[in-house]
Amino acid sequence: MPGQQPDEWQHHAETERTSQLPSFYSPPTDAQHTSRGDADVSHPDFSISSDPALGTSATSPPTPTPKDNRDSINDTSVDRNDGAPSPASSALLPGTPLNPPPPNSLLSPAFTPPATPGTATPSSLLLSEPRGVPVDSSVPSGGCGSKHPRLLEQLPQVECIVRARIPTTTGAEMFLHLYTNNVDNKEHLAIVFGNTIRSKSLDAVREGETEMDRLVRGAYTGRLYPGRTTSLENAGGSATERKEPEEGAQSQPPLVRIHSECYTGETVWSARCDCGEQLDEAARLMSLPSNKAGGIIIYLRQEGRGIGLGEKLKAYNLQDLGSDTVEANLLLRHPADARSYGLATAMLLDLGQKEVRLLTNNPDKIRAVEGPNREVVVKERVAMVPLSWKGKGGFRAPEVEGYLKTKIEKMGHLLDPGALPR
Ligand SMILES: Nc1nc2c(ncn2[C@@H]2O[C@H](COP(=O)(O)OP(=O)(O)OP(=O)(O)O)[C@@H](O)[C@H]2O)c(=O)[nH]1
């Protein structure tokens, strides 16, 4: 409709959607009524929405969830997610006069800029660290639930074969590390924030390689510049020499997020899950100037909780036919969650990390990433509370709320459903 603004379109669409919502859904307030990208890029209140106080009232205390058996395979007692297709959702399809295109901010790549570069207002909130809760997976009351995932006895072998500096649209810089391994042929990634975290396998000297080889595969210290010819910043150092950490850098373990690939949520603007928002939020927290300990996003190519994109799309159709996310997997004869985290453990060790602060709501992930002999220890869990639950932007849709509800009820995720805005 000519002249209509995107936010008017969204309001119109939301009004229609609200009439189709399942009982646990409530219409958002205006403050929460923004898309993921809108909130991060153009919301004028972004410095407030940057409140890193994760793990506040919206999170559960670090105690096991009351629902002991979170393995949902035999659990038929929980509510179903009403995934029925809503006529109103089709009004959101882009490209027709009645169907507005997604806002510009949603057309950006998966790593949506947390703020327009140079426009963020520094505030005390921005400078504070995200709050975590201590966890100890070695005791039942340690805040990681009671389930013990089955772990391989031996960690996989991993090797970082190349790294490159990625200046981001936020102004923050990160180093993308690409790994190979001995268990699959996928390119798993480590997105490293901060200049003190280095990969041992990348830095190791390879037989016969030249200095140019080292520069090209990213095994250098300091920064590249036109005409540089040596991989070491200072002559006389060794190839694995590390820069002295900044003062305070090692005072606490780095923030770590183990993130599983989600093409739909990270690339094609799906409102069925909060994966894109979680990736953006993890990157934002890791880039905060106050975060001296650095950060690592281990990006694992286990799309669709390990079942792959094709099967996940079938699961979405089953969800539109009335199944929840767990039931849909089971109907397709997949486990509710087919992922493993041994590669993440091995990558963290390669990056020199034995203790981490983990950004997650998933208790199984905490135990699994620690490895069979607790090679890596999760010292703290930092909750990933949906931004819309905190009134800090984000987005709301019946699909994502069904998705989160199922995670809480069937998969034991440590999120307090009471914190869901009504
Ligand atoms: N099979 C299936 N996978 C889904 C669905 N929605 C999202 N996913 C996948 O679920 C995974 C989400 O992973 P994460 O966000 O890393 O992990 P998590 O278990 O939700 O735990 P958190 O750390 O608390 O976020 C991604 O691989 C998505 O592709 C769904 O409906 N069905």
Task: State the complex-level ipTM.
Answer: 0.97
Q: How far is the CA of 305 from the centre of ligand 1 (A)?
A: 5
Residue 197: both structure tokens together: 């975290």
Side chain identity at residue 119, one-letter code: T
pLDDT > 70 fraction of the chain, expressed in percent and rounded:
64
Reported pTM: 0.72
Nearest Cα residue to 62 out of 139, 135, 132, 130: 135
Instruction: Compute the average pLDDT of residues 112-140.
Output: 56
What is the C-alpha separation between 52 and 319, in angstroms, rounded?
33
Nearest Cα residue to 391 out of 31, 57, 128, 48: 31
Residue 414: both structure tokens together: 């440590």
Nearest Cα residue to 279 out of 186, 413, 197, 384: 384
Specify the range with the lowest mean pLDDT, choosing from 195-199, 203-207, 233-237, 412-416: 233-237
What is the C-alpha separation between 240 and 419, in angstroms, rounded?
47
Structure confidence at residue 246 (pLDDT): 52
Nearest atom in ligand 1 to 309's CA? 29
Whether the pLDDT of residue 275 is over 80: the answer is yes
Instruction: Please indicate whether residue 378, judged by its CB atom, sits closer than 6 Å to ligand 1.
Output: no
The DSSP secondary structure of 376-419, one letter per residue, reads: SEEEEEE----GGGGTSS----HHHHHHHHHHHHHH--SB-GGG
Structure confidence at residue 356 (pLDDT): 97
Nearest Cα residue to 59 out of 417, 422, 356, 377: 417
What is the C-alpha separation between 139 and 63, in angstroms, rounded?
11
Whether the pLDDT of residue 264 is over 60: the answer is yes
Residue 14: both structure tokens together: 């939301």
**Helix, strand or coil, per DSSP, at residue 146:** coil
Q: For residue 385, give every residue at least 6 positions away whose Cβ sits within 8 Å of its Cβ, in sequence order, or none.
A: 54, 55, 56, 58, 59, 415, 419
Residue 268: both structure tokens together: 């094609």
pLDDT in tens, 161-198: 999 999 999 999 999 999 999 999 999 999 999 989 99
Instruction: Please indicate whether residue 59, judged by its CB atom, sits closer than 6 Å to ligand 1.
Output: no
| Position 128 confidence tier, pLDDT thresholds 50, 70, 90 | low
Whether the pLDDT of residue 300 is over 50: the answer is yes
Nearest atom in ligand 1 to 319's CA? 31
Nearest atom in ligand 1 to 329's CA? 1
Nearest atom in ligand 1 to 311's CA? 1
Instruction: Please indicate whether residue 277, judged by its CB atom, sits closer than 6 Å to ligand 1.
Output: no
pLDDT in tens, 207-226: 999 999 999 999 999 999 99
Q: Which of 60, 191, 275 best tests ligand 1's pocket when mutated (most atoms within 8 Å of CB)?
A: 275
Structure confidence at residue 129 (pLDDT): 65
Query: Do the Cβ atoms of 383 and 281 come closer than 8 Å?
Result: no
Instruction: Compute the average pLDDT of residues 277-301.
Output: 96
pLDDT in tens, 15-67: 333 333 333 333 333 333 333 433 333 332 322 233 333 333 333 333 333 33
What is the C-alpha separation between 411 and 67, in angstroms, rounded?
9
Instruction: Compute the average pLDDT of residues 337-346.
Output: 96
Beta strand 173-181 with 158-167 is antiparallel
Instruction: Please indicate whether residue 253, judged by its CB atom, sits closer than 6 Å to ligand 1.
Output: no
Instruction: Please indicate whether residue 305, judged by its CB atom, sits closer than 6 Å to ligand 1.
Output: yes
Specify the range with the lowest mean pLDDT, choosing from 182-191, 343-352, 376-385, 387-396: 387-396
Q: How far is the CA of 278 from the centre of ligand 1 (A)?
A: 10
pLDDT in tens, 143-166: 787 677 778 889 999 999 999 999
What is the C-alpha separation between 54 and 101, in angstroms, rounded?
32
Q: What is the distance, to the nearest Å, from the Cα of residue 228 to the centroid of all Cα atoms in its chain?
A: 35
Structure confidence at residue 302 (pLDDT): 97
Structure confidence at residue 293 (pLDDT): 93
Q: Among the residues of 182-339, which ranges form H helices?
A: 200-203, 211-216, 263-266, 275-287, 309-320, 325-331
pLDDT in tens, 317-337: 999 999 999 999 999 999 999
What is the C-alpha separation between 287 and 304, in angstroms, rounded?
27
Instruction: Please indicate whether residue 323, judged by its CB atom, sits closer than 6 Å to ligand 1.
Output: no
Instruction: Please indicate whether residue 361, judged by its CB atom, sits closer than 6 Å to ligand 1.
Output: yes
Whether the pLDDT of residue 74 is over 70: the answer is no
- Would you name the residues annotated as active-site residues? 337, 339
Residue nearest to atom 22 of ligand 1 (CA): 360
Which CA distances in Å does 343 have to 179, 278, 311, 369? 10, 20, 22, 9
Q: How far is the CA of 261 from the centre of ligand 1 (A)?
A: 8
Instruction: Please indicate whether residue 360, judged by its CB atom, sits closer than 6 Å to ligand 1.
Output: yes
The highest-confidence range among 53-57, 139-143, 297-301, by mean pLDDT, is: 297-301
Query: Do the Cβ atoms of 329 and 307 come closer than 8 Å?
Result: yes
The radius of gyration of the chain's CA atoms, rounded to the nearest angstrom, is: 22
Q: How far is the CA of 64 from the centre of ligand 1 (A)?
A: 21
